[in-house]
Each structure stands twice: as structure tokens, then as C-alpha cells.
Structure 1
Amino acid sequence: IIAQQTGSCVAPPGKLSVVATFQRMRQEQRNMASKAAELEMDINEHSLVIDTLKEVDSSRKCFRLVGGVLVERTVKEVLPALENNKEQISKVIETINTQMQAKGRELTEYRERYNIRLVGEGEGEGQGQSAAPSGNSEGGGSKSGAGVLVS
């Protein structure tokens, strides 16, 4: 079976479901990598805000965006919450990375089981390699994870 990026293949009709399943699995792994990259950007934003707030007087007024509402707080109230959020995001990223590795192993096993070769792969190449993205993809756009304004 030879799978192409478009999902079509050169195979008998019975083999099309194998290719479709393989493509779906690859897309799931790409989605995980994209989410992990997005969360990494959120961690970077949290780090910037935390570093900035550590240098500010703890009684200083600041504003935090909570569920679309701007709430007035002090730096000493906001800083622990931001640090906690950053830790929680890090844990989620670890979980996603673990899931991506498991999906990569599953993809490799699936490729070997059904002898799937990607377009552009030679006959003897690619065995034992994952068809998964590297995880270094950069997500476009940014969601504000920090949502803090200091006055």
C-alpha cells in the first residue's frame, strides 16, 4: 500500500480503510503536537509575566483577565495563581508528549503490520521510522494565558 498526503492510494478497495485509518492516526498525532506547541507558548507568556511581577512591589494593583472579565487584584494575589497555572500547563504538556510517543509507537506498528510506505520512501527505506511529525511545529497565533495588567 502506498499512502499519499491526500489520503488516496494505489490499492484495491479493501485496503482503502487501512490507509484512511493510518492517515487519521497521523492527523491525531499532528493535532497533539500542535496543542503542545500552543501550550509551550502559553508557558512562555506566563514566565514573562511572572518574571515581570517578581520585580514589582507585592502591594501594587494589577488586573487579571478571568473568563473574559478584568478583575482588580494585587500582585501578591496574582503571582501564586500564575505560578500554579504554569505548573498545571507543564503537567498537561508532559501528558500530551507521553500520548504523542505512544501514538508514534502505534503508528510504527500499524505501518509494519500493513506494510505501509509513504510516497517518496524507497523500497528499503523508512523501516522502523515513525511517520509522525517531530513535535517541533510552531503554532500560529497566541492565546493570552497570563491576562495580567499591572498599573
Structure 2
Amino acid sequence: MCLANLCLQSSLVIDTLKEVDPNRKCYRMVGGILVERTVKEVLPALENNKEQLGKITESLNSQMQVKGRELNEYREKYNIRLMGEEDQKQAPKETEGGAKTGGAGVLVS
């Protein structure tokens, strides 16, 4: 499951529990065991988990951007091209008479 989805689900649960009586019973899965707690005990833990998920998401996004830049630099340094990539990046070739050919086989002057 995506971290963004977990964060969204946590927000929904937190918003719902804020409207509930703090002394009401609720159940939480802890290490595979269903534990009975009260809302006032569970709510701070959920808010902390949501905050940690947000931090992890930001960290992973920044790491992914750094790795993407490193990958692009490596590809440029060693002139690595994927199959079919050259066809997409090349400009349309000029034909005789200075006309360019379009992608649909139509001559454009």
C-alpha cells in the first residue's frame, strides 16, 4: 500500500475519533494482537504515526529525486539510450527541397 494512502487513511481515522467521546472504547491492532483501549489513549499514537509517515514520505521523495538526477547524469555521461528513444528525440528529417515530413506521412512545406 502506498504511504500517501496510509497517511490519508490515518487522517480519516483521526478526524473521526476527534468527534467521539474520549472515554469510549476502541480497538487497535498492536503487533498482530487486537488490544482494547480508549479513544484518548489511541488518538495521540495515531497522530504521531501520521506525522512519522509524512516525514518518511518526504524523505523518500527527496531520495527518489536525487537518484533520478544521478541516473540521468550517468546515462548522459555514457551515452546510454533505451530502445526506441532515439526515434522520439530526433527532429523530423528534411527531405529534398527543404520540406519536412510529418509523422502521418504528409509533406509540410
TM-score exceeds 0.5: yes
Structure 2, unaligned runs of 5 or more? 91-109
How large is the RMSD of aligned CA atoms in angstroms?
Answer: 1.7
Q: Which amino acid aligns with 2:20?
A: V
CA spacing shift, 1:100–1:56, aligned 2, 3 Å: same
Q: Which amino acid aligns with 1:100?
A: M
Query: For residues 60 and 86 of structure 2, what CA distance do their matches in structure 1 show?
Result: 31
| 1:89 pairs with one of 53, 63, 75 | 53
Identity %: 67
TM-score normalised by the chain length of structure 2:
0.77
Q: Which residue of 1 aligns with 2:10?
A: 46
Deviations 1:107-132 (A, max 9, x none): 01110011011222126829xxxxxx
State how 1:66-105 maps to structure 2 within 5 Å. 66-105=30-69
Q: Which amino acid aligns with 2:22?
A: S
State how 1:31-42 maps to structure 2 within 5 Å. 38-42=2-6
Q: Which amino acid aligns with 1:66?
A: V
State how 1:7-22 maps to structure 2 within 5 Å. none
Structure 1, unaligned runs of 5 or more? 1-36, 127-151
TM-score normalised by the chain length of structure 1:
0.56
Q: Which residue of 2 aligns with 1:32?
A: none
CA spacing shift, 1:123–1:112, aligned 2, 3 Å: farther
Q: Which residue of 1 aligns with 2:107?
A: none
Matched, 1:114 2:78: yes
Q: Over alpha carbons, which structure has the higher Rg?
A: 2
Across the two proteins, how many residue pairs are aligned to each other? 90
What is the DSSP-based 3-state SS (H/G/I as helix, E as strand, rest coil) of the residue aligned with 1:64? strand
